[in-house]
Structure 1
Amino acid sequence: MKRPSPSDIATHLTLKQLRSFVAAARLGSFTAAAQSMDVAQASVSELIRKAEDEEGVTLFVRGSRRLLLTSAGSTLLPFAERALAAVDEGAHALRALRSLQGGVVTFGLLRNAAFYVLSDLVQHFHRNHPGVRVRMVGLNSVEVAEEVAAGTIEAGLVVLPIEDTALKVTPLLRDEVLYVSRDPDHVQRPVSVADLAQARLVLYDAHYNWRDPTRRQLAERAQFAGMRIEPWVEVEHVEQALDLVANGVGDTVVSRAVAESGSFPAGLHTTGFDEPMHDTIALIQRQGSELSPAAREMARLAHRMLTRRH
């Protein structure tokens, strides 16, 4: 029979065989190895014998006082030790995740999360679970949905509607969308689609354009009415849009959370829509996926913080 080379050794060895071998090599006897593993001495002896038979090598020289490693045993030992260490570290990492004592949680947030008091989300999570590293990704809802669907973010909060073919969507909160103007005459009554089509609108989320969920709702309403909305000015952030409105450049739309925040500029006026419109905030995850304990806890905290605000 061909004698295996060192690179072939341990191809088929089980973890029990490796543990028995390493314990016996360290302690010098099958009896001491069995005691350290809390098993019968015969079990350790049998595991080593089977390993030797399966690999076609002798691992120990059975001396009268102490087991001695053969050349094959000496070759195997460092590999066995590294393999067992890797397995034990992996098991420890999984236990840490289950107990929220380690690992990394990756969570996506909608662009205007700060207006929903979600800027404190990481602080609340870290206070309770300081051993878990946090990667919080703040994007437009469009990209959060794409990242979750691709598996690069485990879960996240978005504003609906989104493309949800590969996603499980759990609505959490509805927030009314308001029309904002510096001119009080523009908000004397709820605004209509016709008003929007004629207004000088300053809209944010320019990069995402009409893919942005709030702007998408506006576009769909205009389309059903046979009209088209053309922004006068487009910027990236809601704060920029509000500054321009405060300076009389045009009007905009924001969620009630933004309108009621401390950073909402003085001197601006709001009204609703004749057919009320809402931003619906939802938790998303991949269809058929099971959230890790850390992501599940992050989602629970986010839900609680949103509920408390309303």
Structure 2
Amino acid sequence: MTITQLTAFLAALEHGSFTAAASHLEMTQASVSELVARLERELGVTLFTRGSRRLVPTEAAVELRPHATQAVSAVQNGIDTIHALTSLDRGTVTFGVLRNAAYYALADLAETFHHRHPNVRLRLVGINSAHVARSIATGELEAGLLVLPVDEEGLEVRPLFRDEVLYASATRPLDAGPVTVEEVVDAKLVLYDAFAGWDDPTRRQLLERARLRGLTLEPAVEVENVETALSLVAAGAADTIVSRSITEAEGFAAGIRTFPFAEPMHDTIALVQREGMLLSPATQRLAELAERMLRERLPEHQGRIALG
């Protein structure tokens, strides 16, 4: 028994003749008749009484009809689902972005993608990069844009851009020069991404530098958002670290001074997906859009954000 046989049977049942069924299916009358005849032979029953004008369904045909309809519908639904995914007519995209995505010209990523593909459901998750990486590795998210370094086990990582990390202070003298790790350790620090803690990629780099020198690094204050940290810095209550893209954003407090590290430090933004998995067409399109938006909207960073 084949789906083609069941399709021919249902068409003949609905239209009342092999000729009408053939027209509906865009097949020849002989083909439809043969498909039904083969189905009858396989089942060992007669499905139609061949009248002079119209096919008359037998009791066996009436009993078979709901099962045939269910089988044909299930296959067609599967075909429609696959076509929808490949044509971006339906489906769901699960994509992670770095927490401070707005500072990287990605604030309207969701709006742009939805405008172009209104029938695709979009789940855009903006959490700390360390958590995005774990969610991709476990299959909760299909892919994401995040800051390195993260634990890369089970992931495919493609670096895209580098953004310099700076030291931010409202009280450090302008002519003090580059900042050393020793000075950072001695300073009163406010660090953001409190929930991620030392799993945060930027913090992780700073902590590693301190450990290599046998130093202990502990913030005086931990908050969740970079904006909160910068408010404390502007008030002169503490210092922090921040990417250059954030310092150049509109609204960055004029009283905050920024300094490079004596040993330059960078956040590397990368496209990450699960190892060995192909991205769905919709997710691939979203990733391409995100990368293109970064390239087009941050021209002033060429030289500071370099291709990885």
| Same structural fold, with TM-score higher than 0.5 when normalized by the shorter chain | yes
Identify unmatched segments of 5+ residues in structure 2: 302-308
Q: Which residue of 1 aligns with 2:225?
A: 237
After TM superposition, the structure 1 = structure 2 runs for residues 1-310 of structure 1, keeping only pairs within 5 Å, are 13-185=1-173, 188-308=176-296, 309=298, 310=301
Q: Percent identity?
A: 55
Q: Which residue of 2 aligns with 1:3?
A: none
- Equivalent AA in structure 2 for residue 240 of structure 1: T
C-alpha displacement at 1:41, in angstroms?
2.8
Q: Render the CA deviation track for 1:279-306: whole Å, top value 9, x for unaligned.
A: 0010111112111221111111111111
Change (3 A) 1:249 1:57: farther
- Equivalent AA in structure 2 for residue 234 of structure 1: E
C-alpha displacement at 1:264, in angstroms?
1.7
How far apart are the structure 1 equivalents of 2:47 and 2:133? Answer: 55
How far apart are the structure 1 equivalents of 2:175 and 2:3? Answer: 73
How far apart are the structure 2 equivalents of 1:54 and 1:235? Answer: 72
How far apart are the structure 2 equivalents of 1:194 and 1:177? Answer: 17
Q: Render the CA deviation track for 1:154-181: whole Å, top value 9, x for unaligned.
A: 1111100111121111111100000001
How far apart are the structure 2 equivalents of 1:187 and 1:95? Answer: 62
C-alpha displacement at 1:263, in angstroms?
2.9
How far apart are the structure 2 equivalents of 1:211 and 1:272? Answer: 23
- Equivalent AA in structure 2 for residue 79 of structure 1: H
How far apart are the structure 2 equivalents of 1:147 and 1:49? Answer: 54
Change (3 A) 1:18 1:225: same
C-alpha displacement at 1:87, in angstroms?
2.9
- Equivalent AA in structure 2 for residue 239 of structure 1: E
How far apart are the structure 1 equivalents of 2:126 and 2:184? Answer: 29
C-alpha displacement at 1:56, in angstroms?
3.6
C-alpha displacement at 1:187, in angstroms?
6.8
How far apart are the structure 2 equivalents of 1:177 and 1:75? Answer: 72
Change (3 A) 1:106 1:274: same
Question: More deviation in 209-218 or 102-111?
Answer: 102-111
Contact 1:22 1:77 in 2 (8 A): yes
C-alpha displacement at 1:186, in angstroms?
7.5
- Equivalent AA in structure 1 for residue 7 of structure 2: R
- Provide the aligned C-alpha RMSD in A: 1.7
C-alpha displacement at 1:45, in angstroms?
2.5
Number of residue equivalences: 298
SS class of match (1:106): strand
Contact 1:222 1:229 in 2 (8 A): yes
Runs of 4+ in 1 over 4 A off after TM superposition: none
- Equivalent AA in structure 1 for residue 292 of structure 2: R
C-alpha displacement at 1:47, in angstroms?
2.2
- TM-score of the pair, normalised by structure 1: 0.90
Change (3 A) 1:66 1:187: farther
- Equivalent AA in structure 1 for residue 79 of structure 2: A
